[in-house]
Amino acid sequence: MRTRLRYGLAGLALILVGIGAWAAMGHPLPAAVLKALPASLAGRLAAAPPSGAEADQKGPGEPEFAVGVVEAKMATVPISFDYTGVIVSPQDAALQPRVTGAIIERPFEPGGTVKKDQVLFRIDPRPFEVALKDAKAQSERAKAALEFAEAEVQRTDTLADKGYATQQRLQQLESNRTSAKSQVQAAEAAIARAQLDLDYAVIKAPFDGRASLSGINIGDLVTANATNLVSVVQIDPIDVQVALSTDDSKAVRAAMQGGGAALTVLGDDDEPGREAKVYKLDNRFDPATARRLIRAKLANADGLYLPGEFIRTRLQVGRKERLLVPTRALSAQLDQRIVWSIGADCRISMRPVETGGSYGDQTEIVSGLKPGTRIASDHLQRLSQNLCVGVRPAAKADIAQDGTRGMPQSGSSAGGAGSAAP
């Protein structure tokens, strides 16, 4: 019996200590608890003033602190798609010799820039000069034979008219004349062939561009249509090739018909760089990838971009109105993006939203918010439902403006697969 009484008194003491501590922290006691306590103790606890930091707490209905406030606004933003593109030269020539011979000169620097018709290699021309002289001699011989055949026909024709020569003899001489004419034509063709071989002994650059490295040196024997001498690629302007999805290719095609689609090369930090104009679409989709190739012409006077290089690109196909909020005003609850809206009574309310693409420091709101809604842009970690806060204008950079600077930054693509941020 005494043991039970001892435990009961200890439990009551603990309860009273807890009630006292609760009241000392400034929290009000429930009415049921006050009724169960002795009147003198209940009155003292009910009248106990708050202590510590709670003594400075503001009264009901007064703001706890001030937050920066911005309005969700409609703004004109670009419709664009991010893709990985590849640099492609619009002209790419692999040069081979048209004649067989020994290299006697290489008057260019491998790997350097070359101009159209600049001499790259010279093949020993002496065999071709000899062949040309021989062809010219054969031509002279054929012409002499033709002159003799013409004279024979003329003499025999006069004699045949007087009956001193047979018609058979005249026909034979006319046949000889025709054969002599064909020999002259063959000799002239041989001269042209020999002249071509002599011209082919000089290999020139077919267009302005950059030459590749070459392993062909002076003295090397090269074989016609077999030896790879050097390759030349055009580098200014140069093409950017992108493989588009079906929907994106339709958007680009419509933009080209309506005035043109622009392509922007992105830097390492996705900052916009050089711009190119889309000018060519392939005539089919690749059935293996369901992609359609497009090309855009890019200025490259400094040779910064070279064929085969992969780059990040952004295709802009138009502009549309979008509802934007500062990106810093967004927070998350589990896997749901939210913003904190502020009502006319200064009360905070949590709004789940669906977001779209990012435009600079602004983010598109697809659903969950209306234009003109006031939202908090700072102190997000301190906010809670129905909390009363003061308001102040947000920093100027947080305010969405029409013609928002920047392009969509969300949804990057890899290997030519892009994502839209329309």
Q: Tens digit of pLDDT for each residue in 349-361?
A: 999 999 988 887 8
- Residue that is written with structure tokens 């002239």 in the block: 188
Domains, the chain, ranges and CATH? 2-52 (no CATH), 77-86+236-420 (2.40.30.170), 93-232 (2.40.50.100)
Q: Tens digit of pLDDT for each residue in 310-321?
A: 999 999 888 888
Give the pLDDT band of residue 98 (cuts 50, 70, 90). very high
Residue of higher predicted confidence among 307 and 402: 307
* Sequence-ordered list of residues with C-beta below 8 angstroms from that of 140, at least 6 positions apart, any chain: 187
Q: Are 35 and 42 in contact (CB under 8 A)?
A: yes
Question: What are the tokens at 231?
Answer: 């390759």
CA distance 77 to 269: 20
Give CA angle at 58 (55, 61), nearest 5°.
Answer: 145
Q: Are 96 and 229 in contact (CB under 8 A)?
A: yes
402, pLDDT greater than 80: no
* Sequence-ordered list of residues with C-beta below 8 angstroms from that of 1, at least 6 positions apart, any chain: none
Q: Are 318 and 408 in contact (CB under 8 A)?
A: no
Chain centre distance of CA 258 = 21
Mean pLDDT of 172-198: 90
Of 7-21, 71-85, 89-103, 113-127, the one with minimum mean pLDDT is 7-21
Q: What is the pLDDT of residue 42?
A: 52
In three-state form (DSSP H/G/I as H, E/B as E, the rest C), the secondary structure along 204-272 is ECCCCEEECCCCCCCCCEECCCCCCCEEEECCCCEEEEEEECHHHHHHHHHHHHCCCCEEEEECCCCCE
325, pLDDT greater than 60: yes
Q: What is the DSSP letter of 171?
A: H
Q: Tens digit of pLDDT for each residue in 127-159?
A: 999 999 999 999 899 889 888 888 888 877 777
27, pLDDT greater than 60: no
Q: Are 235 and 207 in contact (CB under 8 A)?
A: no
